Chain A
């Protein structure tokens, strides 16, 4: 597979190869006001390096989804800031933020979120087409081959299984060669076989294309394929494990709970 990464994978500036792609600085998030206020995040600072595959875990209500939404620019922090690929998100207006998201960020959702009126290939190309750009055909073919949907490219989402739909979503997240892909419980709706396929696909993406991935999950098996795992509890990062096994993760989660 070396020829693929050599030919079409993002070719980062060697001097910045290990640079930080996503940086969260002292992020807090408060929902509601007064007595009913809830602090979802209580000062989170975190860096993600280029090419890293990070899982964020934590019990329900730990703030992991909120953190991801803020890192991705879908939500705004109460204080603190986020920088993606050298751009501070808090300094962008809605339009610039949208364009930045279109070019630099990929998304994978628990519920796939494919447009039912578009077929698989059109769904994959959506972020490119929305920008009014001509798709890079070679890259598209590579992605379709990688996600294994060559024979399903003209099918609509209603004709795809959950696993297939999520693989389309993965390809869609990669089509713009984003600086970072955020995956929100990508296996949450899938059975175990389909989960395994999608996770293997994400792992390959990181390995072969050097893609930076940030994944929120509560599934220890999913987290185990990441390079590192961040543990969140009560709105704070409480731990960080490099290449933990599934059992180690489960043990740690029990401690947190």
Chain B
């Protein structure tokens, strides 16, 4: 039986290969996800191990929690002397790092990594993590060394003059060398090292350091030293051994990345696997149908039902094992491509070399084999229902069909269950992870339900899509349409494979369009300022930039916004709602229109002390209204008790809270503005004012000046990049469905060989036969496209409804949707290339005599 199965697989090579590809790509995504996240984990561990290699004990500012918007309050340099006085300290040294900018040939270079551009101090021995690979490390003021990857990226070598964008403007420096830190790929983050005095001066950090590194004297352990130092430093200083610091820093970063990256990537892999499962199901169903007589013959020869079932299941096992093994290999490539994709959109992450961990191998095999087995169960069961008598009958009609009275009910039930779970996940309460899981399961159920019920849509849809084809291309069009309708269940499953990928693409597009529209609307509603100045990088702007803007002759008024993340009443901090915007209420009034939910203009005058305005989402998230008090804590660990005096709506620009700057300065370490609103003098032409501010900001290339329109366009561009990243990940699902359509066509052509022979005999040209196959493929693909559009719109509608109070509207972009349907047509045409060629190559006589 096993030999027979293997022989069968060998004879149906093309089909076996196409079926294998269907699973292979999904497995590759799973393997790739784990390979990449392992690379990231090892990369950070490697990086941190290198950074702390010579450090026995590290002192750093304690952070209550991590914030996306601020760095910790630095340590005073005086602490260094106190530490040096501790017995057992051989050597202690302060380090300082700050986000900054690299200016080459007068142009600010944006880093392609998520870390941006970092200016740090060149530590002396034994602390330095750097391995000097070219030139030397900086020894004098005005000298910098670059991370080797950074130097190579911009083609810089010792002696080259460059400049650093600092808080004090652009400072010219000279490159003196390049160095490595560990062996990991820094993933596009640019790193520049200079002397401590320089870094302090450049970033207004005189007398401050971000960490103190300590080397223990002979005979003193790091742990002993930690205890001794802890006894003399203030409580807000964290004292750890270097080893612990390395592990905790790496673990912290990995938690942040692993927390969202792994599940997000696995979700895309899941979509790809679902598509693969549809294809396996389809292929095995067709194969079993074709082999009815073979199974019946085996049954007459005494094979038991169990043996028949076993044969089909074994075939699926072989496919699963082959696909998983190949998928593992491809996963390495996939991880590499994914890493490059992240870097292309400016989110590069440090990585170590790729390796297949045992966990990756085990999971990939499990998933690949599991999915194939699961998808083959129904066809395998159907194979067992073949009666021995079928061996004596001609044709394929003898196979018991799965059309049962209850099938429509099951399909409807599964789809309804999917929608129900989706709605429950979106609107019900509960922790985010369980809601996301419910939603994901809902999506899968909805897709499966749609695939099951799609057979009832196939006839009307194929009729509608085929009608113009028949008008335009006469007989090939008619035959294509009729052939597409001929086995609705098969066409439905084939189309469903494309539906999944395209449905998710449509969802992303519609959802993103809703965000764009609401963003444009919000900006137009709340921003009164003519110009918006903000950082081009993921870091705030120097305070001096705000002064430069205010001093510009064309500018009448400015208002700066500082940002920090907070913890509210001890709950876990969200970077979206738990944000505090520090403003000067007197200057904000003329530049920002508060969109009041509860309150009016007069409330703004009372914005002082610990009285604050809260955004609608914040109000909902923490169940706080006007007059209510709540406690906040900033990353510095400082706390304050605040009272809400008004509620406003602004889901885009100033989320969370608007607080007076005096309060902000009291609790937060952040001093640099993220946004500067500017009003130009009445009568100044827009272009003149903008270039005036641009000139004033020349020393601060990190700050960019935008009109309202520029601002909205830039935000759209950022969103679009993210959307393209998602499209790239979803492309895999669409590619898999392309193979599925091709496979289905090959099988159909094989079944209908005689019909092709007849067509050629009565005068159909090869071109007409190709057309016929191509149109059938296009009809199937467009059915998938239409179903996908429908499901995608439904998802988007549900999700935007659930997020309605964020100002999100359900606004499908018609042009894009049309483009996706054209894409579906293209998928159909491409999938048909090889099958059409094969159908046209059939020899008339041989085809006519085929079984």
Contacts and interface: CB of A to CB of B under 8 A. Distances in A.
Interface of A: 69, 74-75, 94-95, 98-99, 101-103, 107, 109, 111, 113, 115-118, 122, 126-127, 129-132, 172, 176
B762 A126 contact: yes
Contacts of A107: 761-762
B762 A127 contact: yes
Contact of A130 (B482, B757, B762, B845): B762
B593 interface: no
B763 A117 contact: no
Most buried by B among A69, A101, A111, A130: A130
Interface string B746-761: 0000000011011111
B844 interface: yes
Given A95-B765, A102-B763, A103-B763, A117 B486 contact: yes
Nearest to A132: B474
B475 A129 contact: yes
A116 B486 contact: yes
A130 B763 contact: yes
B765 A172 contact: no
A19 B296 CA distance: 54
User: By DSSP majority rule, is chain B's interface helix, strand, loop, or mixed?
Assistant: helix
Given A118-B482, A130-B768, A113 B758 contact: yes
A103 B479 CA distance: 20
Contacts of B475: 126, 129-130, 132
Given A95-B766, A127-B763, A172-B762, A69 B479 contact: no
6 contacts: A102-B762, A115-B755, A116-B755, A126-B762, A172-B762, A176-B763
A69 B763 contact: no
A176 B762 CA distance: 10
Contact of A101 (B485, B761, B845): B761
A101 B482 CA distance: 25
A117 B479 contact: yes
A61 B457 CA distance: 51
Contacts of A98: 760, 763-766
B845 A129 contact: no
B483 interface: yes
B848 interface: yes
A74 B845 contact: yes
A103 to B, nearest CB: 7
B755 to A, nearest CB: 6
Nearest to A133: B474
A76 to B, nearest CB: 10
A118 B758 CA distance: 13
B764 A130 contact: yes
Contacts of A116: 486, 755
Contacts of A94: 766
Contacts of A99: 763, 765
Contacts of A176: 763
A130 B844 contact: no
Given A130-B759, A130-B762, 5 more contacts: A101-B762, A113-B754, A115-B759, A118-B482, A129-B478
Nearest to A126: B762
A213 to B, nearest CB: 16
Most buried by B among A74, A75, A99, A103: A74
B362 to A, nearest CB: 48
Nearest to A119: B482
Contacts of B844: 74
A199 B1 CA distance: 48
Interface string B465-505: 00000000011001100110110000000000000000000
A118 B755 CA distance: 12
Given A98-B764, A107-B762, A69 B845 contact: yes
A131 B767 CA distance: 12
B489 to A, nearest CB: 16
A131 B768 CA distance: 10
Interface in B384-435: none
Contacts of A115: 479, 755, 758-759
A97 to B, nearest CB: 10
Nearest to A103: B763
A116 B758 CA distance: 12
Contacts of A122: 478
A29 to B, nearest CB: 12
A117 B766 CA distance: 20
A75 to B, nearest CB: 5
A130 B478 CA distance: 10
Contacts of B764: 98, 102, 130
A120 B761 CA distance: 18
A166 B848 CA distance: 16
A131 B845 contact: no
Contacts of B761: 74, 101, 107, 113
Contacts of B755: 113, 115-116
B380 to A, nearest CB: 27
Contacts of B485: 117
A132 B470 CA distance: 11
B346 to A, nearest CB: 53
A107 B754 CA distance: 14
B324 to A, nearest CB: 39
A117 B758 CA distance: 13
Nearest to B762: A127
B763 A131 contact: yes
A15 B760 CA distance: 33
Nearest to A100: B763
A176 B761 CA distance: 13
Interface in B749-804: 754-755, 757-766, 768
B762 A75 contact: no
A98 B762 CA distance: 8
A95 B761 CA distance: 12
A126 B758 CA distance: 10
Nearest to A173: B762
Contacts of B486: 116-117
Contacts of B760: 98
A71 to B, nearest CB: 13
Nearest to A182: B761
Nearest to A106: B762
Nearest to B481: A117
Contact of A75 (B479, B482, B765, B845): B845
A69 to B, nearest CB: 6
Contacts of A69: 845
Contacts of A132: 474-475
A122 B759 CA distance: 13
B847 to A, nearest CB: 10
B459 to A, nearest CB: 12
Report the 9 A-B pairs with minimum CB-CB distance, sorted nearest first: A102-B763, A117-B482, A113-B758, A129-B475, A127-B762, A74-B845, A130-B764, A98-B765, A130-B475
Contact of B763 (A75, A101, A111, A113): A101
Interface in B50-88: none
A111 B394 CA distance: 12
A108 to B, nearest CB: 11
Contacts of A109: 758, 848
A115 to B, nearest CB: 6
Nearest to B482: A117
Contacts of B757: 113
B772 to A, nearest CB: 10
Nearest to A112: B758
A131 B764 CA distance: 8
Contacts of A118: 478-479, 482
B726 to A, nearest CB: 40
B481 to A, nearest CB: 9
Nearest to B397: A158
A57 B765 CA distance: 32
Contacts of B754: 111, 113
Contact of B474 (A111, A117, A129): A129
Interface in B134-181: none
A200 to B, nearest CB: 24
A174 to B, nearest CB: 12
B474 A113 contact: no
